[in-house]
């Protein structure tokens, strides 16, 4: 038995007051909220329906010009758990961007990296460091950190796409830099140049499994065409017969993720099969490309259709069930967790017990 020592209460109170006044905090009073047994993301599972976002984005085209000053016609996903911050999750920016016929969103660059996943329309070109990349529905376009970029709609109709950025991560690192380009549109050196060296036959190079290594150099390939993704998913589904097949978009030079901070993937679900619940450290945003179905995230059911976007916060178990053949695009921060050697992933069975666990 240790000897009980009477604590003089007023001395203790005085100590706490002086600690606080000195801009110090005793760990023993806050350790449980800081060092949690598992992640406690502030972001909550949430779904933004296309049926709500699309009309608001379209109305913005008529009412809000996109010139210097406004710059980009973007509606960001605001996760209700984040106290009003314009972020989909603690580490991820997600948004719907709209560009009307014959409009240009001004050229600029920033240290946060960005990806675009095209929802609807045709005729928009995103120029990335001089390479004008055509955007078609289902295509993935990369805008790596500090690359000049601008979007130009050469068509007669509006165009809509999903934007994903690592902005909250770079903000947390106090690493945000931004610079407007002197011109509205940067000079175009060529069209779809980055694709030249990576033919569809080399699909394994661009649609594989991300190697668990960090490549700080961005992918030399800036565009991943839906036609190639679709073909690779079709081959995989046929070869494996699995109810869910996935491809990750990889850097063809190193096998690393699409951007050093962001992983992008496409998942194909066969109808009427439920996937096993999986939970991962790190946040994900899903964009429904094709089909309808339901996902259960931390026990909450979300029904989805094309153009819907939803968030799976870190460590929330998620399972999917498609009603029709479905393709889900995902964006996640997993490359950062992997590079740091702290990525975790568990597959649960329906009784929520662990059936398999992966740790690096
Ligand atoms: O298109 O360059 O959703 O700079 C947020 C910041 C899109 C863009 C966003 C951006 C962009
Ligand atoms: Fe940008």
The DSSP secondary-structure symbol of 340 reads: T
**Is the minimum distance from the CB of 42 to ligand 1 under 6 angstroms?**
no
Band of residue 360 on the pLDDT scale cut at 50, 70, 90: very low
Band of residue 338 on the pLDDT scale cut at 50, 70, 90: very high
**Is the minimum distance from the CB of 195 to ligand 1 under 6 angstroms?**
no
**Is the minimum distance from the CB of 236 to ligand 1 under 6 angstroms?**
no
46-347 has CATH 2.60.120.10 classification: yes
Question: What's the burial of 335, exposed, middle or buried (CB within 10 Å: 0-12/13-18/19+)?
Answer: buried
What would the pLDDT profile of 236-285 be if each residue is shown by its tens digit? 999 999 999 999 999 988 889 999 999 999 999 999 999 999 999 999 99
Quote the pLDDT of residue 356: 47
Mean pLDDT of 297-311: 98
Quote the pLDDT of residue 69: 64
3-state secondary structure at position 173? coil
Predicted TM-score of the model (pTM)? 0.94
What would the pLDDT profile of 80-122 be if each residue is shown by its tens digit? 999 999 999 999 999 999 999 999 999 999 999 999 999 999 9
Q: CA 273 to CA 169: how far, in whole Å?
A: 35
Name the residue with the closest Cα to ligand 1, atom 10.
72
- Contact, 231 vs 188, CB < 8 A? no
**Is the minimum distance from the CB of 95 to ligand 1 under 6 angstroms?**
yes
Share of the chain above pLDDT 90, in %: 84
Domain range annotation of the chain: 46-347
């Amino acid at each position: 038995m240790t000897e009980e020592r009477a604590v003089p209460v007023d001395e203790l109170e005085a100590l706490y007051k002086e600690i606080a006044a000195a801009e110090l905090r005793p760990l023993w009073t806050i350790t449980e909220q800081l060092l949690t047994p598992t992640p406690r993301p502030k972001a909550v599972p949430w779904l933004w329906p296309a049926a709500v976002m699309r009309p608001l984005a379209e109305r913005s085209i008529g009412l809000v010009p996109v010139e210097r000053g406004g710059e980009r016609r973007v509606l960001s996903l605001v996760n209700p758990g984040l106290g009003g911050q314009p972020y989909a999750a603690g580490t991820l920016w997600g948004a719907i961007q709209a560009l009307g016929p014959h409009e240009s969103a001004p050229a600029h660059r920033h240290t946060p990296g960005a990806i675009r996943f095209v929802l609807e329309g045709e005729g928009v070109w995103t120029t990335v460091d001089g390479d004008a990349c055509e955007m078609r529905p289902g295509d993935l376009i990369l805008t790596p950190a500090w690359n000049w970029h601008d979007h130009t709609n050469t068509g007669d109709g509006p165009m809509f796409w999903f934007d994903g950025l690592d902005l909250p991560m770079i903000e947390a690192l106090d690493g945000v830099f931004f610079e407007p380009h002197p011109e509205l549109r940067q000079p175009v050196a060529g069209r779809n140049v980055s694709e030249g060296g990576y033919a569809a036959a080399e699909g394994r190079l661009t649609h594989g499994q991300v190697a668990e290594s960090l490549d700080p150099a961005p992918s030399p390939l800036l565009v991943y065409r839906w036609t190639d993704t679709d073909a690779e998913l079709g081959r995989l589904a046929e070869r494996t017969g699995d109810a869910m097949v996935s491809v990750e978009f990889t850097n063809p030079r190193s096998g690393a993720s699409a951007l050093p901070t962001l992983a992008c993937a496409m998942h194909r679900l066969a109808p009427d099969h439920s996937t096993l619940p999986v939970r991962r450290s790190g946040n994900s945003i899903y964009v429904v490309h094709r089909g309808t179905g339901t996902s259960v995230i931390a026990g909450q059911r979300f029904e989805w259709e094309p153009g819907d976007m939803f968030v799976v916060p870190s460590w929330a178990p998620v399972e999917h069930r498609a009603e029709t053949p479905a393709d889900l695009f995902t964006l996640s921060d997993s490359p950062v967790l992997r590079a740091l050697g702290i990525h975790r992933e568990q597959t649960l069975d329906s009784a929520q017990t662990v059936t398999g666990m992966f740790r690096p």
